[in-house]
């Protein structure tokens, strides 16, 4: 890695660590601040008392934005982790034989041919909405592209001379999977999960915005953006700008980290 990507990697890692730390601590630190109403300060613009202003019920937008990012972070990372696990399992399943491979390829092609948002909406709606439904919907609709990459990598490794030599040296299949296959695809899984995370966060926000995601009492970023739409004509810009900017910053820094790691591992 040369100096420029190393600096970028360092910065994005630091930012991602900051987001992670605030996500871990926000719930304890904020308490019930995101839900606390101050009727004497409704729709107050950003100022020294309320840095990000307040909403129509006088709730502190800074606390709500931070709580929303925390929620988005957990939903995003859970969905990314689950999606990666499904992708890895399906890629390994495809290695069991030509029939399994054909079946997995068919599932990947079928799911990729359906528009993302439609699939997400259908799954989230079928599961009745809520945090779990969003996590499962995002994971189920996002594993195919990563599974395709992992399957190709496993096909390449399976026919690599050193793996065939390992077989000839008497190593059992379990050993080969554990010591040759998995370590080779793990970096792809990590980068895949990091690149899946921004999609998961944005789709969680989209589902919540459309009303089939997190419930209205949870200060998710999508819920905050949905609420802000009702006040946009009144000029209350801070209701949408701060949660949107926070989401953008989190997504960008995680995506940057994923891209930097991907480039570092591919050179």
Partner 1 sequence: MLNARDLRFGFAGQPPILDDVSLSLEAGEWLGLNGDSGAGKSTLGQLLAGYLTPQAGTVTVDGAPLPRRGLRPVQWLPQSPELAVNPRWRVKRILEEAWTPPAALREAFGIEPDWMNRMPQALSGGELQRVCVLRALAPDVRYLVADEVSSMLDPLTQLDLWQGLRQIADERQIGVLVISHDAALLQRLCSHRLTLSDGQLYREPPAEQPDAQIATAPRQSPR
Cβ neighbors of 59 (< 8 A, separation 6 or more) are 34, 35, 36, 37, 38
Taking contact as CB under 8 A, which single stretch among the options 42-50, 60-68, 124-132, 169-177 is the one that binds partner 1?
A: 169-177
Residue 239, beta-bridge partner list: none
Of 161 and 235, which has the nearer Cβ to partner 1?
Answer: 161
Assign residue 170 a region (left: φ > 0; alpha: ψ between -120 and 50; beta: otherwise). left
Q: Are 12 and 253 in contact (CB under 8 A)?
A: yes
Find the binder of partner 1 among 22, 35, 36, 184 (CB under 8 A). Answer: 184
**Cβ-based neighbour number of residue 97 at 10 Å:** 10
CB of 154 to partner 1, least distance (A): 15
CB of 161 to partner 1, least distance (A): 5
Q: Are 223 and 247 in contact (CB under 8 A)?
A: no
Taking contact as CB under 8 A, which single stretch among the options 47-55, 66-74, 94-102, 160-168 is the one that binds partner 1?
A: 160-168
Taking contact as CB under 8 A, which single stretch among the options 69-77, 156-164, 199-207, 218-226 is the one that binds partner 1?
A: 156-164
Of 115 and 183, which has the nearer Cβ to partner 1?
Answer: 183
102 binding partner 1? (CB under 8 A): no
Find the binder of partner 1 among 18, 172, 229, 248 (CB under 8 A). Answer: 172
Of 35 and 166, which has the nearer Cβ to partner 1?
Answer: 166
Structure tokens, 167: 């077989």
Give phi and psi for 48, each to the nearest 5: -70, -30
d(CA 50, CA 35): 14
d(CA 137, CA 16): 24
Of 28 and 168, which has the nearer Cβ to partner 1?
Answer: 168
Find the binder of partner 1 among 98, 128, 170, 235 (CB under 8 A). Answer: 170
Taking contact as CB under 8 A, which single stretch among the options 16-24, 45-53, 177-185, 220-228 is the one that binds partner 1?
A: 177-185
Of 110 and 167, which has the nearer Cβ to partner 1?
Answer: 167
Structure tokens, 185: 């695809």
169 binding partner 1? (CB under 8 A): yes
Of 13 and 166, which has the nearer Cβ to partner 1?
Answer: 166
Q: CA angle, corner 141, sides to 136 and 144, nearest 5?
A: 125
Q: Are 99 and 187 in contact (CB under 8 A)?
A: no
Footprint of partner 1 on this chain (CB under 8 A)? 160-162, 164-166, 168-172, 179-180, 183-184
């Amino acid at each position: 890695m040369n100096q420029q990507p190393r600096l970028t990697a360092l910065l994005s890692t630091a930012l991602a660590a900051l987001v992670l730390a605030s996500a871990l601590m926000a719930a304890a630190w904020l308490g019930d601040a995101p839900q606390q109403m101050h009727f004497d300060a409704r729709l107050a613009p950003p100022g020294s008392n309320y840095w990000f202003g307040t909403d129509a019920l006088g709730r502190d937008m800074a606390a709500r934005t931070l709580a929303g990012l925390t929620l988005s972070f957990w939903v995003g990372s859970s969905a990314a982790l689950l999606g990666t696990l499904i992708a890895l399992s399906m890629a390994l399943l495809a290695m069991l034989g030509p029939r399994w491979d054909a079946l997995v390829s068919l599932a990947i092609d079928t799911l990729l041919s359906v528009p993302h948002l439609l699939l997400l909406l259908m799954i989230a709606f079928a599961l009745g909405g809520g945090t779990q439904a969003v996590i499962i919907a995002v994971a189920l609709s996002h594993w195919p592209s990563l599974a395709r990459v992992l399957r190709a990598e496993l096909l390449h490794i399976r026919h690599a001379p050193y793996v065939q030599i390992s077989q000839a040296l008497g190593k059992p299949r379990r050993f080969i999977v554990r010591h040759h296959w998995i370590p080779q695809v793990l970096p792809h899984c990590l980068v895949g999960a990091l690149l899946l995370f921004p999609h998961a966060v944005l789709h969680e926000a989209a589902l919540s915005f459309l009303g089939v995601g997190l419930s209205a009492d949870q200060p998710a970023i999508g819920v905050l953006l949905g609420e802000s739409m009702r006040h946009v004509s009144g000029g209350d810009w801070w209701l949408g700008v701060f949660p949107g900017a926070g989401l953008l910053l989190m997504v960008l820094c995680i995506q940057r980290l994923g891209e930097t790691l991907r480039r570092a591992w591919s050179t």
